[in-house]
Amino acid sequence: MPTRKAEAEWKGNLMAGAGQISLGSGAFSGSYDWRARSGDGAGTNPEELIAGAHAGCFTMALTATLGANNFTPTRIHTSAKVHLEKQESGFVIPKIELETEAEIPGLDNEAFQGFAAYAKANCPVSKALAGTEIVLTAKLV
């Protein structure tokens, strides 16, 4: 499997400075700064990028798990909320909330919950973020 990369460059101090994040694929390049990270800025931030990566990875893992069990989803939609908190030791990401909603013909809710829990535990991004509490809410529609 290939190794993926991204780059970031920062200029200035934390509060007034700004940076640029670029994905190696060229699919995204954008500005980031403290204002975006603390809530009122226009650019992106590392937590938002983690949220996108986790939502995408979980959704692909769930799709793979369903396929391995002979189910094909009509649709899966996942959102991720990454919490950034200031603690005594500094800033931490203590929790990520995954919310997924799926349409899967022929699948009952009990089996869906099991597949969703398996995907949460086994998606590579969840594994990389193992030190963070990951909460999953899964809804079959």
pLDDT score recorded for residue 38 = 85
Show the tokens assigned to 117: 């829990």
Say yes or no to pLDDT of 19 above 80.
yes
Architecture of the 46-140 domain: 2-Layer Sandwich (3.30)
The answer to whether 22 touches 13, Cβ cutoff 8 Å, is: no
Locate the domains of the chain by residue range: 6-38, 46-140
pLDDT in tens, 77-130: 999 999 999 999 999 999 999 999 999 999 999 999 999 999 999 999 999 999
Alpha-carbon torsion angle 138, 27, 67, 80, nearest 10 = -10
List CB contacts of 62: < 8 A, sequence separation 6 or more. Answer: 73, 76, 78, 100, 102, 115, 116, 119
